[in-house]
Amino acid sequence: MSNQHISSTTTTTAGGGLIISKTEALQSFLSTSANNTHLSPDLRQIASSLSHQPSSVPYKSLRSIWIASDPSTRPALSALLTGSHFVLNSPQPRQKSEELKARLRKYEEVAERKAYKELVKDITPRRDESEPFSSYKDQIGFGLHVALTMFTGYLVGYYTFRALFGHNPVMHAAGGILGLVGGMLVETLLFIIRASNQDRKTTTFTASKIKKNQ
């Protein structure tokens, strides 16, 4: 085929395969073939349909009509295709399924939440750094520690009063209770001190990050 150029023109044609642009020579050949009794009725119908297409024709159908035409009267194929060029059909946009759309929306939401956390991570302290006993492990550990301290205070008070007051069960029990209360008070004081230190650390951390980002 001479003078063949690839064209990006979008066309809508019947059938698939190679599409070529229509020239005056092709239009004349198709119009003649539509009335050519040498061709079968099907080929004449195809020729008539192609002759009414505005700008392009399928090469496969054109070649079938040309091969079935009388060799003594048909034009040379090279002369018939002179001035014609390929026409490329633009692909249809792929439609996204509802499942894919939902999955994409979910990924977008996750990405947005991750981006937000990344944006505020410098000014928002982490939960485990700002809140004491934020996990069950911390709570259980603190409870066991308090129980152990109170039990130790009870034993210390019990045996101290036993040594001071001899064989007096009432005083022994009173000493144990006093030691238990003392242990509870000591643990409460330690808890207040730890919480105050944690609050100061959190306030200092937040203020320094805000100042850094300004």
* pLDDT tens digits along 164-209: 887 888 888 888 888 888 888 888 888 888 777 766 666 665 555 5
Position 165, amino acid: F
Residues linked to residue 56 through DSSP beta bridges, in sequence order: 21
- Residue 26, pLDDT score: 86
- Name the band, by pLDDT with cuts 50, 70 and 90, for residue 88: confident
Q: How confident is the model at residue 8 (pLDDT cuts 50, 70, 90)?
A: very low
3-state secondary structure (DSSP) of residue 174 = helix
Is residue 16 over pLDDT 50? yes
Structure tokens at 206: 């937040």
Q: What is the pLDDT of residue 99?
A: 83
The whole-number average pLDDT for the span 25-29 is 87
Residue 24: predicted pLDDT: 87
Q: Which residues pair with 57 in a beta bridge?
A: 20
pTM of the predicted model, to two decimals?
Answer: 0.36
pLDDT of residue 210: 52
- Torsion angle (degrees, nearest 10) of CA 192, 195, 196, 197: 120
Q: Which amino acid is at 120?
A: V
What is the rounded CA–CA span in Å between residue 107 and residue 96? 15
SS3 content of the chain, % helix, strand, coil (to 5): 65, 5, 30
User: For 35-63, how does the pLDDT look when each residue is reduced to its tens digit (9 = 90+)?
Assistant: 888 888 899 899 888 888 888 888 888 88
More confident: 72 or 201: 72
Could you report the per-residue pLDDT of 106-152, keeping only the tens digit for each?
888 988 888 888 877 766 555 544 455 556 677 787 778 788 888 88
On whether the CB atoms of residues 7 and 86 are closer than 8 A, the answer is yes
* Beta-sheet pairing, 56-58 with 19-21: antiparallel
